[in-house]
Structure 1
Amino acid sequence: MTKDQLPPRLLTRRRALLAGAAAVGTAGTAGLFTTFAGDEPVRRAAAPTSAPTPAAGPQARSALKPSSYRLQPLTGFGPPRAAPRRTLVRHAPMLQVNGRGRRMVLTFDDGPDARYTPHILDTLRDYDIRAMFFVCGEMVAENGDLVARMADEGHVVGNHTWSHPLLTRLSRRAIRSEMERTSDVIEDSCGERPVWFRAPYGAWNRAAFQLGAELGMDPLAWTVDTLDWTTPGTRRIVDRVENGAAPGVVVLSHDAGGDRSQSVTALRFYLPRLLDAGYHLTVPERHYA
């Protein structure tokens, strides 16, 4: 059967497919030049003032939206996409960081608290220091603006569960809920999901490590515990930090969960002394598989 002998319905379908393919090719090419041509944005051609005269013959149906498969060749002009990074499932939390350059990390748990967290952030800002805040979801729900400030000022926001429970007494499903809800509310507050996790009371189990990795988070514990939650007095908190200071050390303090005025005052004393002693107070780097 020749072309002239094809039934009219088949010719109509073929014309429709050809017309749709031409439309997709034209749109894809125009989008390519608009996106990638030079540093200056390329203006699209002005729309015609009048609609073009339709071609003679039966009209094709409106072209289907191009699938991602059809547009795949257009992405070949950019750099190849890197494989997604996979978080390691650890069997123990990290207790310290790379101490090269006399690096140390300051961490604050259980917040944010409108009474104490702003003062800690003010002191860190005054000395241009970055720290880590392991926040509880129920506290973030009430103080999302403080989480946004943490992120804006370069601090790391970590996941410390929703309600600060003892994870070793929870089911796997309950642990996931505690962690996932907290990651969600952190993302809602500052636009990014946390990549670090700390178990309340330092009580870890296999489920916590596995679920943390599934949610893209590394577990971080601490090296020096200031025991500031016992309100031992400002002087003792300062002494514990200064006596425990060493390259790679991770210091645990609190900005919520009780009266944290001693923690706020102690930071103002030991922070400049650590800097004078040559310590570089920073945040840790991630490790992937």
Structure 2
Amino acid sequence: MKKVITILMLILVLAACGESAQPVSEKQSENENQTPEQTSGEEREQQPNQQDTESKPTEKKEEPKYKVSDDATIVPLKEGINEKVVLLTIDDVPDKYAVEMAKTLKKLNVQAIFFANGHFLETPEQKKQLKEIHEMGFIIGNHTYSHANLTTLSEKEQTEEIVKVSDQIEEIIGERPKFFRAPHGMNTDHSKQVAKEENMVLMNWTYGYDYFEPYMNVEKLTNAMITGEGPEVDIDYSLLKPGANLLMHDREWTNKALADIVNGLRDKGYEMVDPHQIKTID
């Protein structure tokens, strides 16, 4: 009888040991099936973050549609792109009206290049104005520091006039300008080389009237910019044509005429080209 009891007790002990001795592979399987909430902190630290391992998509830069030709006109890069466009440019910013002009263009859903002079970028308020124009989505160009005639300066002075402004613009908006316009449209071989080294496209213009005394009048300026004609300065024929590069300035009369100029050109079937679509130097 004692032998029977002993055998039964031994069987019970062995059965109990079998239940507690779970195979290692089964434990691993259970851990693999645990939810993140059930996984210990130490185990979570050892697991790779899926976001870290996935590559981020790269932003695709828009392909350029236009280029600046040697005669300063805006030309499509291939067939099928609208040819009946004009480019709006505003020089000598930010003097007094540039921010207001930018707001006007923004309301009209029109783009332009704002060419900055370095001597207008010295005070905190002036820097703030240029940054505001840039943050509205407009391109900022280089128009030299003091608006001097580059043909009268030494090569060293020309370099300083150009590079200093690129440095100022980069400090204010975080990027260097991609377009350069020489004051009075007068470049030298050296200024062209400096612009090239700075990766800037040379930008002249095809017509503009607001710096002539007869056109310091809102009505006369509006008509001249829409028609391309300036009879008071012996331009009794139209300079308006597809690809025209229109020169304007940070001036009171231009500011007041700007909306009517844009609407008048649109009424003639012209589209204001987006300078972001103009080919630059990589």
Task: Report the TM-score range of the alignment, normalised by the length of the smaller protein.
Answer: 0.5 to 0.7
Could you list the runs of 4 or more consecutive aligned residues of structure 1 that deviate by over 4 angstroms after TM superposition? Answer: 32-36
Contact 2:149–2:186 under 8 Å retained in 1: yes
Structure 1 residue 153, shift from structure 2 partner: 1.7
Give per-residue Cα distances to partners, 1:218-251, cap 9 Å, x unaligned.
1100011123353531122112211123210110
Residue 98 of structure 1 aligns with which residue? 75
Contact 2:91–2:114 under 8 Å retained in 1: yes
Contact 2:72–2:245 under 8 Å retained in 1: yes
Q: Distance in 2 between matches of 1:263 and 1:185?
A: 26
Q: Distance in 1 between matches of 2:262 and 2:49?
A: 53
Residue 111 of structure 1 aligns with which residue? 93
Contact 2:117–2:144 under 8 Å retained in 1: yes
Structure 1 residue 203, shift from structure 2 partner: 1.0
Residues 120/36 of structure 1: CA separation in 2 closer, same or farther (3 Å cut): same
Give per-residue Cα distances to partners, 1:158-199, cap 9 Å, x unaligned.
100001111001111111111111001101111110010000
Structure 1 residue 281, shift from structure 2 partner: 0.8
Structure 1, unaligned stretches of length 5 or more?
A: 1-31, 41-77, 80-89
Contact 1:228–1:262 under 8 Å retained in 2: no
Q: Distance in 1 between matches of 2:103 and 2:182?
A: 27
Of 219, 231, 240, which aligns to 1:235?
A: 219
Residue 254 of structure 1 aligns with which residue? 249
Residue 236 of structure 2 aligns with which residue? none
Aligned letter for 2:182? A
Residue 105 of structure 2 aligns with which residue? 124
Residues 150/94 of structure 1: CA separation in 2 closer, same or farther (3 Å cut): farther
Contact 2:199–2:281 under 8 Å retained in 1: no
Q: Distance in 1 between matches of 2:71 and 2:146?
A: 23
Structure 1 residue 287, shift from structure 2 partner: 4.4
Residue 150 of structure 1 aligns with which residue? 133
How many residues of Structure 1 are paired with residues of Structure 2 in the alignment? 206
Contact 1:94–1:219 under 8 Å retained in 2: no
Q: Distance in 1 between matches of 2:279 and 2:117?
A: 21
Aligned letter for 1:121? A
Q: Distance in 2 between matches of 1:34 and 1:222?
A: 53
TM (norm. structure 2) is 0.66
Residue 209 of structure 2 aligns with which residue? 226
Residues 272/165 of structure 1: CA separation in 2 closer, same or farther (3 Å cut): same
Asked which structure has the greater CA Rg, the reply is 2
Q: Distance in 1 between matches of 2:152 and 2:189?
A: 12
Q: 3-state DSSP class of the match of 1:227?
A: coil
Contact 1:237–1:263 under 8 Å retained in 2: yes
Contact 2:99–2:133 under 8 Å retained in 1: no
Q: Distance in 1 between matches of 2:87 and 2:93?
A: 17
Residue 137 of structure 1 aligns with which residue? 118
Residue 278 of structure 1 aligns with which residue? 269
Residues 188/34 of structure 1: CA separation in 2 closer, same or farther (3 Å cut): farther
Residue 6 of structure 1 aligns with which residue? none
Q: Is structure 2 residue 159 aligned with structure 1 residue 182? A: no
Residues 241/130 of structure 1: CA separation in 2 closer, same or farther (3 Å cut): same
Contact 1:93–1:220 under 8 Å retained in 2: no
Residues 93/178 of structure 1: CA separation in 2 closer, same or farther (3 Å cut): farther
Structure 1 residue 34, shift from structure 2 partner: 8.8
Q: Distance in 1 between matches of 2:194 and 2:156?
A: 10
Residue 69 of structure 1 aligns with which residue? none
Contact 1:140–1:185 under 8 Å retained in 2: yes
Percent identity between the two aligned chains: 28
